Amino acid sequence: MSAGDASAQPPPTLAEAGADVRTMFDRVADRYDAANRVMSAGVDVLWRKKAIGRLLDGLGESPRLLDLGAGTLDGAIEIVRRAPGARVAAADFAREMLVAGQPKVKDGAHIASHAADGHHLPYRAGAFDGAFSAFCIRNLADLPRGMRELRRVVRPGGRIVLLEFLRPERPRLFIDRFWNARVLPLIGRLVSGDRDAYRYLPESIGRFRSPAELAALLNDVGFATVETKALFPSGVATMVVAS
C-alpha cells in the first residue's frame, strides 16, 4: 500500500515516553536469541530471510549496507550469507547485544559492528546502498529523527527494508489480548528470567504506529515510495519497503 498524510498525530510510543530501552536490551543480551526462537517458534528467521531477499534484489554483488538495530547480528549474518560480497555496518546502541552476537560471525564475513545511536548515526550522507532493520524502530525515542537519519545515510535511489510489529488497524482478539499480552511475557520470563523486558514487548506494539502512520512518516522524511506487507502468520509482523 502507499500512504497519504496521517489524519492525526499518534500518541507517543513507550520509547518516546522515556522507557529505558538500551538498559533493557543490554540486560537480556545473553538470552535474547533463545527467547526469540522460542517465542516465535522460529518464524522470525523466515521473516528475516524474506525481508533481506527484498533488500538485496537488484543491488549487485557487493552492496554497502546498514543493519540498524543489529542486535545479536542475525540480520547482518543473513545478508552476507546471501551476498558474500556485501559489506555490512551493524549498528546498535545496546553494546552487549553486539557482543553476544559476535561469536556467530564467521571468519571472512565483512561485518563491522558499531555501538551507535540511531538518532545520531556516525556515517556520511549516502554511505549505503540500502538499509535493513528488524524490530528496532519501535524502540527509538524520536522516531521521525531516526527515520531522517536513516534516509540521510542511504544514497538517493537506495532502499530500506524494515521488519516491525506495527499496531494493527483493527484489534486482534487472540493475538493482541491473549498471545501477546499473556503468553509471550510468560515465555520470555521463563527463558530469559526477565519479566519486565517481555512485558515491554506487547505494550510497545500497542503504543507504536499503524502501517498507515509509519508509511506517512517515511513519506514525510523523504522516501518517495513506501510499501507495507503483512507477513504470515496472520499479519503478526509487517515488512516495510521504502525508496
The full set of domain ranges for the chain reads 21-242
Residue 31's closest CA among 136, 101, 132? 101
For 233, list phi and psi in degrees, rounded to 5.
-90, 135
Extract the C-alpha cell encoding 185.
511475557
Say what the pLDDT of residue 45 is.
93
Extract the C-alpha cell encoding 196.
519486565
Cβ atoms 242, 225 nearer than 8 A: yes
**Pairing label, strands 226-231, 237-242:** antiparallel
pTM: 0.91
Say what the pLDDT of residue 1 is.
42
Say what the pLDDT of residue 226 is.
98
Cβ atoms 107, 130 nearer than 8 A: no
Cβ atoms 49, 75 nearer than 8 A: no
Give CA–CA dist 243/154, Å, rounded.
9
Cβ atoms 237, 39 nearer than 8 A: no
- pLDDT, averaged per 10 consecutive residues of the chain (243 residues), comes to 52 90 94 87 93 96 97 98 97 98 96 97 98 97 97 97 91 73 77 82 88 97 96 88 97
Cα distance from N-terminal residue to C-terminal residue, the chain: 14
Extract the C-alpha cell encoding 17.
515516553
Give CA–CA dist 71/135, Å, rounded.
9
Q: Collapsing DSSP states into helix, strand and coil, what is residue 111?
A: strand
According to CATH, the topology of domain 21-242 is: Rossmann fold (3.40.50)
Residue 105's closest CA among 151, 144, 142, 74? 74
